[in-house]
Amino acid sequence: MNKTIIKMLSGIFLKLVKIPSPSGKEKRVAEFISAFLHQRGFDILVDQSGKKNASNTGNVIATLSGKGEKLLFAAHMDTVQLEDEIVKPTFDGVTFKSDGSSILGADNKASVAVLLTIAAVVSLEKKGRHDLRFVFTTREESGLMGSEFLDIKKLNPSMIFNVDGSSSIGTIDYSSLGHLSFLIEIEGKAAHAAIEPESGIHALTVATKLYTSLKMGKNKDGSTFNIGYIRGGENTNVIMPNLVMKGEIRAYTESTLKKMWSGVENLSSQVEKETGSKIKLKKGKLIPPFTGSKKSKIVALTKKSIVSNNIKFNLQAAPYTSDSSYLAQAAIPTITICKGGKHAHTNKESITLKEMYSLFKIIHHLCYHNNQ
Ligand SMILES: [Zn+2]
């Protein structure tokens, strides 16, 4: 491993994780990124969308002109850390971790650190570099809001590389899951639990009927269904009158998402009739699946960058949802490059310096592909 690159990678990464950036509060880290890239000759623009619900999109868009193709590399700036949580990173020369009291934030600051290191290196190398656009998105973890409101067509890249994804280094995602959240409100009927329980409609009985008929977990096609939240009732002497459940559906095609949702609708009206209850369904935002092709040019190109660096190549349909869902909406070739790391979104999260260095080599190779 090149000593200068390693020093830069770890130095930038440690600085980044110490700057809090929970979803929606990315401003400080955005300022750090903007200043860093501005000093390296990038043009900086902080994205503001006029669209409804886009409040302060805040994506950082940095461009550095080159020759050849317009390559866009994206990484989200936010983490799942709590509002007042300060990350105290540790590094033993091999692995980065937190002190155990918080997440580390390698998801996705490892990718941000790699892109900033790339920027520092390529800004000094004038020959043969492609035209670069680095986009740092906001609010990925809270529903991909930054990428949703990004005007990709205006940036007009020829290819999009989303640097994220927690699978091992060398893995690229050609597709990933779409997402539909929902809320179910059950209205039963209150009654005294001892005097006349038979005249009540127990909301939990209704919920149980619904729950046991819906297939939880993973299906053969990789789609999933889950109810992850349930609240109901107040007093032990009352037949539970109300109950709320929240859940999500994920699938690789929009038609599967819609089909699974209409299954919930049909079953609910059936259970309503059977129990005499009222079931209100509220559909949340539908995040479209990312549907790329296994055999695209962008897959072949990235594979070349991975293999030529002696890294094991792996191609997958990702079992998660990422910014690629929206980045790919303009029908420009898109893939997700995975960053490695372990136990993302937990206090045990870790990443090795070697993983970051490998990611650096893959992306650096892409910045010059076919131009040398
Ligand atoms: Zn992420």
**The domain that contains 251 carries what CATH number?**
3.30.70.360
Centre of ligand 1 to C-alpha 6, Å, is 22
Average pLDDT of span 325-354: 96
Centre of ligand 1 to C-alpha 251, Å, is 18
pLDDT computed for residue 40 by the predictor: 96
Centre of ligand 1 to C-alpha 47, Å, is 20
Centre of ligand 1 to C-alpha 141, Å, is 7
Verify that 283 and 295 share a domain, yes or no.
Answer: no
Centre of ligand 1 to C-alpha 241, Å, is 40
Q: Return the DSSP state at 2.
A: -
Centre of ligand 1 to C-alpha 221, Å, is 23
Verify that 63 and 124 share a domain, yes or no.
Answer: yes
Verify that 189 and 275 share a domain, yes or no.
Answer: yes
Verify that 69 and 193 share a domain, yes or no.
Answer: no
Centre of ligand 1 to C-alpha 275, Å, is 43
Verify that 279 and 312 share a domain, yes or no.
Answer: no
* 291 sits in which H/E element: strand 290-291
Centre of ligand 1 to C-alpha 131, Å, is 25
Domain boundary among 287, 320, 339: 287
pLDDT computed for residue 366 by the predictor: 96
* 35 sits in which H/E element: helix 27-39
pLDDT tier for residue 36 given thresholds of 50, 70 and 90? very high
pLDDT tier for residue 68 given thresholds of 50, 70 and 90? confident
Verify that 67 and 109 share a domain, yes or no.
Answer: yes
Distance, CA of 365 to chain centre: 25
pLDDT tier for residue 52 given thresholds of 50, 70 and 90? low
Query: d(Cα 145, Cα 10) in Å, to the nearest integer?
Result: 29
Is pLDDT of 70 > 70?
yes
Work out the end-to-end distance of the chain between its first and last CA atoms, rounded to an integer number of angstroms.
Answer: 22
Is pLDDT of 348 > 80?
yes
pLDDT computed for residue 49 by the predictor: 67
Centre of ligand 1 to C-alpha 107, Å, is 5
Verify that 100 and 50 share a domain, yes or no.
Answer: yes
Verify that 341 and 360 share a domain, yes or no.
Answer: yes
Verify that 254 and 362 share a domain, yes or no.
Answer: no
Verify that 118 and 262 share a domain, yes or no.
Answer: no
Verify that 132 and 80 share a domain, yes or no.
Answer: yes
Centre of ligand 1 to C-alpha 140, Å, is 7
Contact 29, 58 (CB under 8 A): no
Question: pLDDT per residue over 135-149, tens digit each?
Answer: 999 999 988 989 999
Higher pLDDT, 234 or 349: 349
Residue 344 sits in a domain whose CATH number is 3.40.630.10
Domain boundary among 287, 303, 321: 287
Distance, CA of 128 to chain centre: 32
Question: pLDDT per residue over 243-263, tens digit each?
Answer: 999 999 999 999 999 999 999
| The two three-digit tokens of residue 129, written as one number | 């570099």
Centre of ligand 1 to C-alpha 134, Å, is 16
Centre of ligand 1 to C-alpha 144, Å, is 10
Verify that 275 and 345 share a domain, yes or no.
Answer: no
Q: What is the pTM of this model?
A: 0.92
Query: d(Cα 222, Cα 317) in Å, to the nearest integer?
Result: 9
3-state DSSP of 294-315: CCCHHHHHHHHHHHCCCCCCEE
Using CA of residue 162, residue 167, residue 171, residue 174, what is the dihedral sign? negative
Which structural domain range is residue 12 located in? 3-177+289-368
User: Which residue is associated with the tokens 């949702």?
Assistant: 261
Centre of ligand 1 to C-alpha 1, Å, is 26
Average pLDDT of span 302-330: 96
Is pLDDT of 51 > 70?
no
Centre of ligand 1 to C-alpha 112, Å, is 11
pLDDT tier for residue 83 given thresholds of 50, 70 and 90? confident
Centre of ligand 1 to C-alpha 154, Å, is 24
Centre of ligand 1 to C-alpha 146, Å, is 13
Number of domain units in the chain: 2
Domain boundary among 261, 287, 313: 287
Q: Return the DSSP state at 220.
A: T
Centre of ligand 1 to C-alpha 321, Å, is 9
